[in-house]
Each structure stands twice: as C-alpha cells, then as structure tokens.
Amino acid sequence: MSIQHHAPDELGHDYLEIRGLTVDFDGFKAVDGVDLTLLQGRLHFLIGPNGAGKTTLVDAVTGLVAGTGLARYRNQDLLGMRSHRIVRAGIGRTFQTATVFEELTVLQNLDIAGGIHRRAWAMALARRGVPAYVEQALEAIGLQDLRDRPAGVLAHGQKQWLEIGMLLVQDAKVMLLDEPVAGMSAEEREETGELLRRIGYERTIVVIEHDMEFVRRFADVVTVMHAGTVLAEGSVSEIQADPRVQEVYLGRQLDAVADDEGAAEVEAQVQAEVEATVEEGGRRA
Ligand SMILES: Nc1ncnc2c1ncn2[C@@H]1O[C@H](COP(=O)(O)OP(=O)(O)OP(=O)(O)O)[C@@H](O)[C@H]1O
Ligand SMILES: [Mg+2]
C-alpha cells in the first residue's frame, strides 16, 4: 500500500522531506503529524475532502502559518524560515484563487516574480532585452504571443499557466500548486498536465486536486489527507481500492457490511460512488 521510500540521495534526486508536521490553530490541529517524502521528477498529488488540511500544509511549508515538526529541503528546515527566504530557497506555490496582477502585462507579471533576480533583470531591461530565463518561462507556459497583453484579458487557464511561469522565473525547484486546474476546461486540464510533466522532470511538484480524472491521468503518487493526517499513499488504483479512503469520501463504515454476503458488491458500488463524489468535489471547488 504505502509507496517505497527510496533513500533519495542514492538516486541523486532532490526531495522535500516532511516529518511530524503539525499546525495548531488554538488547539485545533488542521495538520496533525504529517510525514511526506516528495521526490523530484514525480508528479505528486495531494487529495482529500474539504477541510482535510491540504492548503494548511502548503501554508506551513511556505511560511504563511506556523508549523512544528520538520520540512527539510536541501539541508534547510523551512519551518523556521520567513516566506521570502523560503522562496529564495527554491520553494514556490500558487493559491486556490489566481493572484496575477490583472492590469499588468504577462511580461510585467513575470518581471515582478523575477524580483529575486532583480539586478540581472534590470540590467537586461536596460539593454532592452528580456532575460533568457524569462523567455524560457514564456515558452514553457505557451504565452509568448500574449506577452504584452494585460494579464486580465487572459483566459482562466492561461492565468494559472502565468502563475506557473512566475514560479519558473523564480527558479522554484519545489512547486506546490493549490488546485491549479479547478474551473479549467478539459482541454486546458490536459495542457496543464502536459506542462507539469515537462517542467516536473527536474522539479518536485505537488498538486492539490479534487478532480479524479485529472489525478488518474497525471499522478505518479497520490497522498490522501483526512482530518489533518495522511490516510493513505500510493498509486491512483491503490488509493481508490483502499476502504479507508472510500469511507472518508462517503462518511460510512464499510466494517458494518464486511460480514454480509453482499459485501463485495457493496464495496464495488461504494468505489463507483467515491469516484463520482470526488469528481463532484472538483466541480464545486
Ligand atoms: N487560519 C485558520 N484558523 C483556524 N482554522 C483554520 C485556519 N485555516 C484553516 N483552518 C481550518 O483548518 C482545516 C483545514 O483547512 P484547509 O484549508 O487546509 O483544508 P483543505 O484540505 O485545503 O480544504 P479544501 O479542499 O476545501 O481547500 C479546516 O477545518 C479549516 O477550517
Ligand atoms: Mg484548500
């Protein structure tokens, strides 16, 4: 059931290691002792019902809320660091609602994100050029032709891509994306998945998502959170077959029917309902 935790150094891969992460809001533990190993080169999905603690986990790792435990990346514990230093350490995130500056152009948005490289960028602008890493980001997100348009005119999906572009410009090695495909068309989702695959090869990417179709299509590893804890981890088919995951999504105890003759049948039915429920959650979000 649980995925194999390779010793990441042996593979020569980067990784973000989270151990015993806890976020306590006045006695309510929104994140409660979470262990996660997030390896470079794998698309890691974080799913779970509303209120499971997914966003709070990302908030803790990016310094927006205080957490205890360990969140180590390249020998630095992120939990003790201020957000701007966490960004400089190579950790980037997006939010559930897009945060691009609508009045500014695509290029200007990337400029702001590139603030941590400010000096190089300003020098390049003085030469009336655009730095190579900004060009590369524009190309990766496919918005070259829209570079001088205000971000406000972009389609919903394109704004999310711009946000991902902003993380590329920041040179984020770890990207924590909070429901990036919510509200996207099927086509936009597909393009986003392809984009994440392309850039994910040399990065550690974590995607929070409700839409099981998207998860099924692109996830290498899925972690299911519930009530602040990790409930299950594995491949898509493993977590879908896990009765504990099914219980959480349906709020019913399979134990109660475990001895019944029709248990297997009920279980199959429950699994179909789980998928429908999860997909509905995605549309609501
Ligand atoms: N600043 C806060 N103070 C108190 N409680 C909070 C705070 N932020 C979040 N919570 C609570 O923590 C729990 C986890 O919230 P969180 O936003 O992390 O869930 P989520 O898994 O991202 O859910 P969703 O799928 O709806 O986005 C919820 O019960 C939420 O109400
Ligand atoms: Mg959330």
Fold for 8-284, please state it: Rossmann fold (3.40.50)
User: Model pTM?
Assistant: 0.83
Å from CA of 170 to ligand 1 middle: 27
Distance 95 CA to ligand 2 centre (A): 9
Atom of ligand 1 nearest to the CA of 23: 12
Report the residue among 34, 47, 54, 97 best suited for mutation to probe ligand 1: largest number of ligand atoms under 8 A from its CB: 54
Angle of CA points 146, 151, 157, to nearest 5°: 80
Q: How far apart are CA 194 and CA 199, in angstroms?
A: 9
- For residue 56, the ligand 1 atom closest to its alpha carbon is 18
Task: For residue range 234-279, list pLDDT tens digits in order.
Answer: 999 999 899 999 888 766 444 444 444 455 665 666 667 667 666 6
- Point out the least confidently predicted range of 30-39, 221-230, 256-265: 256-265
Read out DSSP for 113-172? HGGGGHHHHHHHHHTT---HHHHHHHHHHT-GGGTTSBGGGS-HHHHHHHHHHHHHHTT-
Residue nearest to atom 22 of ligand 1 (CA): 55
Q: What digits encode the pLDDT tens for the residues 104-145?
A: 999 989 988 887 665 655 655 555 677 888 899 999 999 999
Domain residue limits, the chain: 8-284
| Cα torsion through 13, 140, 186, 232, rounded to 10 | 10
Nearest atom in ligand 1 to 52's CA:
21
